[in-house]
Structures are given as C-alpha cells and as structure tokens.
Structure 1
Amino acid sequence: MSTISGNVTGESRELILIVDDELRIRDSLSLALHSFGYRTIVASNVAQAIDAVRRSNVDLILTDLNMPGDTGLDLLHQVKKEDPTVSVVMMTAFGSIETAVSAMKEGAEDYLLKPVELGTLEILVNKILEKRHLRKENQRLSAENRALKENLDVRYHLASMLGTSPQVQELQKSIKLYLKVRTPVLILGEPGSQLSEIAQILHYNSPWSSNSLIQFNCSMVPGEFHEPQLFGIEERVQDGVRLRGAPGLVEKAHFGSMILSDIDHIEKRCQGMLSRVFNQKKTQRSGGTHFYEADVRIIGTAHEKEIEMRVRKNKFRWDLWEFMSDNVIVVPPLRTRKEDLPILVLAEAKRLGHFYGKQIQSVHPQVIEELSKRSFPGNYRELEALIETAVLSSQQSVLAWSDFKSVTEN
C-alpha cells in the first residue's frame, strides 16, 4: 500500500483514505485533497483499505464502488464492523448511481460521480467532516457536562443548565454560591429562561430542602389578593360573627423557602410587609397586631429590564431592589450561548423521547446547524417546544431536521 503525505500548515487536519484500483485516480484525488488542507493515505483494494483503517485513525473513506474482487459495498460493510464512526463516500460511474444510493441506505454518507469534479469534491468532503467534528464535539460535551453536574452536586438539575460556554459556567458558579445560604436571592433573565425552575434548584439542594417550598406568582394573581394570600388574615369579629383567621403563605414557609415569581409585580403594600420579613424575620396577618415568626428564604424572579423599569416608576420599592440586587443570579439568553446547542438539544430530545416512549439516541448535525440560525426570543422554552414537536414527529432513533415540521414549513 502506498502512502502520500501532505505538508499541511497549522493544525493537522482530518485523515482521508482513498480506495481505487487505478493509480491515476488515487494520485489525482490525493493531490486535490492536499490542496484543500487534508491528509491522505491510499489503497488499491479492499484488503489494503481495511489494513489502513486498523492501523490509522481514518476520518473519511473515498472508495470506488466497482473494483476487481471485493467491491466498495464489501468495504463499507467491513468498515462499519471495524469502526462505525468512519464516514464512507462511494465513487461511481453514472450507470451505477442506483447501487450507490442503495449503499447510502446501508450506511454510506454520500456518493460522487466519476470523473470526480474537484469543486464538488471539496464541498462534499468539507460538509461530511464538519458533521463528523460536530458529532465528536457532542460526545465531548456530554462527557464534560457529566463531570460538571457531578461537580455541582445538585440533586435537582435542568437540561437548560448544561453546556460549557462561559455564560453557563458562570451560571453554574452562581447557583453553587447560593446553595447553602439563606440570603434572599434575585434571579434575573428573559422570558422562557426557566427562572422558577432554577429557584427550585436553590431550595432542593439547600440544608433545609426537607422544609416547605411555597411558590407564588405575583403577576398571575390579582393584586387585591396578594395580602391575604401571602400574609394571611387575623381572626376577627364581623357583624357579631367570629371569623376564623388563616396563616399566609409566608408564615407557612417558616424555616423553608418561598419563590416569588415576577416579584416586581407584588402589590405595593405587600412590599412593605415583605421588607419586614427580610429585616426582622417576622410577619403580620392582615387586620391583626400580633407578629408571627417567618424565617423564610425568599427567592425572587424577574425579567431584568422590566424590574428596572418598575423601580424607576416607583412601582417596586427602591429599598427592596437595593436589598435583593446585591445577590443576583443572571440567567444568560439562549442566543448568547449557541455553542451549547448540541448538548442542550440532545439532552432535551432524549428526555422528551423517554417521556413519549421513543428511543432518540442522537441528533442529526443539520438540526444544530439550522437551529443555530434562530435568535430564540422565547429562550429555552422555545427550544423545548420545537424539540417536543420534532420528537413527536420522529420515527427514527436519530432526530432529523425533517422532524421539525413547524420550523421547516415556515
């Protein structure tokens, strides 16, 4: 078996094996691939090619379909047994296209028509090897994120927190900082960023995780109900009838945690009562004079621009903002961490696949390529919805771009 070595400048590129019984074709393809920046080795038959695969870390095989003795199809079958990750491209004359297409169904990546047009060759090889790189990077990210999750030591985790981007590493660092303290925390982020779920992580991994966790959405509940629901009602006599009192949610969360979603929308009078909880660890029921213990870890969530606007308009008390803004966890928008998409998409696809009884094992590189073009104004919620639609449509173990009907049709 002859070998041609190229002097590739910079980082060493992928290794391509050329298999053809004609010396002229092997040499011309090898020279062309060198000019594209790739390393090559050559073989004149299937036996030599298999030996090369065993001896070298081959990334891609360009093989003639019709050769004396064993054919390109025979090589494809043997290579997939030796190393299923190696990509194989069939080179064939016009009359053998049907056989080449059949080879793709059996695992070949693509095919090239002879005589090979060098422009087409470069585009195809670049595309295939970029996909291979993405698959390997996906595997690397999976391994790294397993280590990161173990390092965080959290029992309750989110797929949206996975990744190796600087933004998500800073998020993981901030979460770990506030796991063991009872300091009030403000979690800021855009809509769809799973702010309440991240707040749950802080509780479920705290020393008081066995105590109450109570959640209240300040923007969903009308303002007139905030005080009785959050701070309760004192027992009283009305029209000669004694009305029983009831503790509020803050009181019930004593020694536990309370998540106040959209905390900047809490009713103005309740903001003063909440300030007392922060400073005195006490609460007072509506209409009453007695104080009740309320050692509560408050975790607020808000959309960053909105809470700042409400502070400026005096709809959210400045002292509360000052108190909470010293302890902030900022959740980065998905559009700023697209390098995390491979692991995010795979993790969510597997989770939803398990939920719907489908065995999603991998994600086609085109999915990542196309999703990377989106700005994701809905952040992780938007990504989750897209993947859920695709998983429901998928009939294969590999999630393909064609499964994303709601995207491709638009």
Structure 2
Amino acid sequence: MNQQRLVLVVDDEKTQRRTVAGILEGWGHEVKEAESGREALDALAGQAFDLVLTDLRMPGMSGLQLLQECRAVRPDVAVVVMTAFGSIETAVEAMKSGAADFLTKPIDLDQLEVVVKRTLEMKRLIRENKLLRRRLEETSAGFKLIGRSRKMAEVLNRAARAAETDATVLIQGESGTGKELLARSLHDLSPRADRPFVAVNCAALPETLLESELFGHVKGSFTGADRDRPGRVAAAEGGTIFLDEIGDVSPLVQVKLLRFLQEREYSPVGSDLTLRADVRVVTATHRDLPAAVAAGSFREDLFFRLKVVGLDLPPLRERREDIPELAALFLERFAQRYQRPARRFSSEAMACLMSHPFRGNIRELENVIEQAVVMARDVVIQAEDLSCVGAVPPGGGAETGLPTLAGVEGNLPGVLEALERRIVMETLAAFSGNQSSAARHLGLTESGLRYKLSKWRETDDTG
C-alpha cells in the first residue's frame, strides 16, 4: 500500500480503534478517529475521506445508521463495517445497504490488509471511470455552453493551459457569462479532477460568517458556535475551492485570504491552531477589480495573488455568433427535461434572439429558451414564444451592437429581410461555412438555405 489515502476509523472501543488506526498509519495512510456515529458525520462533513471503517454496534447511532447517513453526506466514500463473528447477518444487511465489505472481530491483520487494499483499489477504478466520463462529456458540454466564437476560443485555450497547473485563476466577467461553469471546467481538466470542487458565494455571507464558512470555527468562538466545525477549505482538501464574487469581500477577510494564498495556511475562527491546506484556488468577480484597487477598496497585493492567470469572459452581446449554438443546446436540454415538442427555431425567432441585448448574458438566454420550450405548442419555436420579444429598448440597434440598417427605416419587410440576411451570414460564419449545420440551427432546410443564398447573390449581381 504505497499510495496514501484519508481513512476514518469509527469505534466506541478506544483500544480497538487505536489499534486499527495505528496499523493503517503504519501502511502510510492518513487516519482520523471518531468514537461515535455523530462525531464521524461531523468529520465527513468537513473532509472528503476515501474510506470509512466503522464498528456496527455502537451506542447512539449504530454503524448501519452511520452507513445510511454516509450515503447522503458523502455518496462516493467507501464504507467497510466491522462486526463480531456472531452478527454476520447484520454485516450482510450492511452490504445490501451499500457497504463495500466487512471485517469480523477480532480483526485479523492479513484480512484487514486484503479488505482495505481491495476496497481502495475498487474505489480508484470507479473514480477513474467517472473521471473519464466526466472529462469526455461534462467538460465538453461545459465549454459548449460557454461558447466557441473566436473570442471564447482564446479564453478557453488559456483556460486549458492553466488547468494543467495549480496556478491561482481569476475569472472576470459580467453576471451570467458562465464564470462558475468555466471554473468547474478548469477543475475537471486538472489533475485534481477526482477530488472535491467546492464553491463559495462570497457576496451571500456577512464578514463574520464568511470567515467561519471558509476556515471553520471552534466551539465557543462566537454565539451559536456549539461545536467545532471545519470550513469549506477543509472540505475542498486535495481539490479546488471556487470563491465566487471575490470582489465583494471585506478588508478583514481580504487580509485572511492574502495569508492563505501566500502560505496555504489558515486558522479556524477562535483557534490559535495553524492548519495547512492542499487546494487549488479559483476566484471570480463581476466587478472591476483594477478600479477597486485604484479606489483603495481592494488590496493590490491580494489582486496580484489572485490573478496569476486572468480569464476575461466577454458578454454575450460581444459574441453574438455564439447565440445560435447556445440556443440550440438549451432547446435540446429543456425539450428533453419537460418532454415538450419544440425542436427548432423559426427564422423570425432566431432574428429576435440575435438582436436582443441579453444584459443577463447566457443566464438570460437560458431563461428565455426555457420559457419558450414550456410555452411553445409546436415543433417550431416562433418569435411570439420568446419572452424577449419587444424587450429591446428604443434605439436598440446601437445599444445591442447591431449596425443601423441604412435605407430601410420604416419599411418592415426591408428591415426583416436585411436582418434575416445578416443572421444567416453570421450563422454560416459561426459554423465555418457548413450549410447543413447552419440550416439546422436556423430552422431551415438545407435546400431552403441554398435558395436564399442564391437569391441574395443574384440581387448583389444585379444591384
């Protein structure tokens, strides 16, 4: 056993617990102990254990109850139950409830080694299999849901290179641009992909609670702290912690974060104990941090620590060529989720999407498509099915980044034709000239698209 794993040994009999823990430590594993099921659950809430060895018969919460609670708190943890020879039936019941294996007391050293080795190897294989599936499916889907325009290709290329390292990453972009999705993709592409990804919304908690949420606290450190509680940093051990809305943290928390980033050390609230952390840090904000630094509301030294690698996500209005593919992905997702008939967009509906400002970015687009799928009665989503119809402000052409359509003001057929032509050409460009893909996303047949292109060429030649 040459690969260290984090193991939790649970037994109310101290001598038995210490004996098993000592053997496991001798094999090179990091071992924590708990003398009750409740204490074990507290430990599981704070750290991602690879293996739990628990006695079946304990006062208060039995090993079988602990096993069931483990399924809810840490569904991926492997649990091995320890039982006296006379309660094999209970051990079999535990196996049916999800235990990986069982050991009979008194514990035989050879049997312990075989069971622990076999269980950890099985967990490794399951984890690798899930990791491969996640990398092939989720990361690919995640990147698709962020976009594949030229601007986004540059961001994603930088992200893929950064993912290979433990460098701290700062993601900046407006609300709804996909910052957390990009953070998750960074984690999924990294060597830490099989360890926890823990997200914390820094803007959602006041200063005192945020420090406790991140670093934990000890019993009695403040009103209501009735027991020791590990923080989110401990929960992310070995993996990635994502600090969203980092630009909203107070000066006091900024100081704590600076120390943590410099030393990878922290102290729980109310404790003098210094703990080390093995985590990758990814942060995000919708705020202009350089401006906040200049204004004195954000520490310059912390800003530089956070931005070892900077990724700037452009708003959707600056990469409209991503809209057709994003809309199609959301359409497919929600049609399946709600079992609705909608399968494609009419050209008028796509024109509405392409001209809408989308101040809420991808999140707003997702919401618009979800509503349309729910409300549409037909296979084709029409313009009137879209909640964004009529939401473009006066003078929207300039505000949305679309050019003024000179010479067609007040002429509705002319406006629609000019807008349709622009959408078709931009969609073709987004699909690198692939007429089949472009037609499908525009809700046209391929022959219908070719007819439009031919008609416009004839108009250009005669005009």
8 Å contact kept, 1:156–1:204: no
Cα distance in 2 for residues equivalent to 1:260 and 1:328? 14
Whole-Å separation in 1 of the counterparts to 2:222 and 2:233 = 25
Contact 2:212/2:231 (8 A) holds in 1: yes
More displaced, 295-304 or 353-362? 353-362
Q: Which residue number in structure 2 is paired with residue 314 of structure 1?
A: 296
What is the Cα deviation at residue 206 of structure 1? 1.9
Question: Which AA in structure 1 matches 2:264?
Answer: K
Q: 1:382 aligns with which of 364, 370, 376?
A: 364
Q: Would the alpha carbon gap of residues 237 and 326 (structure 1) be closer, same or farther in structure 2, given more than 3 Å must change?
A: closer
Give the whole-Å Cα distance in 1 for the aligned partners of 2:221 and 2:182: 43
Aligned length: 258
CA distance in 1, matches of 2:302, 2:241: 16
What does 1:135-214 align with in structure 2 at a 5 Å threshold?
154=139, 157-163=142-148, 165-214=149-198
Instruction: Say if 1:234 and 1:153 are closer, same or farther in 2 by CA, change over 3 A.
Output: closer
Within-5 A mapping of 1:241-320 = 244-305=227-288, 307-320=289-302
Output the aligned Cα RMSD: 2.8
Residues 57-92 of structure 1 deviation map (CA, whole Å, 9 limit, x = unaligned): xxxxxxxxxxxxxxxxxxxxxxxxxxxxxxxxxxxx
- TM-score normalised by the chain length of structure 2: 0.51
**What does residue 335 of structure 2 align with?**
353
| Counterpart contact for 1:282–1:295, Cα < 8 Å | no
Distance 1:178 1:233, change over 3 A: same
SS at match of 2:192: coil
Structure 1 residue ranges without an equivalent (≥5): 1-148
Once the two structures are TM-superposed, the CA of residue 174 in structure 1 deviates from its matched residue by 2.0
Q: Which moved more, 1:358-367 or 1:225-234?
A: 358-367
Counterpart check, 1:397 vs 2:379:
yes
Mark the CA change 1:276 to 1:180 in structure 2 (over 3 Å): closer, same or farther. Answer: same
> What SS does the aligned partner of 1:395 have?
coil
Q: Unpaired segments of 5 or more residues in structure 2?
A: 1-133, 393-463
Q: Deviations over 1:326-385 (max 9, x none)?
A: 311111110011122221211111111111112433222222222222221111111111
Matched residue, 2:211: 227
Q: Percent identity?
A: 26
8 Å CA contact 2:221–2:269 kept in 1: the answer is no
Q: Name the structure where helix makes up a greater proportion of residues.
A: 2
**SS of 1:208's equivalent?**
coil
Q: Report if the CA contact (8 A) 2:237-2:279 is conserved.
A: yes
Amino acid in structure 2 at the alignment position of 1:337: R
CA separation in 2, counterparts of 1:223 and 1:190?
23
2:4 corresponding residue in structure 1: none
Distance apart, 1:150 and its partner CA: 9.6
Cα separation, 1, equivalents of 2:333 and 2:152: 20
Equivalent residue, structure 2, for 1:364: 346
Deviation, structure 1 residue 296: 1.4
Structure 1 runs of 4+ aligned residues shifted over 3 Å read 149-153, 234-239
1:12 aligned residue: none
Q: Which structure has the bigger radius of gyration? A: 1
**1:81-130: per-residue Cα shift (whole Å, max 9, x none)?**
xxxxxxxxxxxxxxxxxxxxxxxxxxxxxxxxxxxxxxxxxxxxxxxxxx
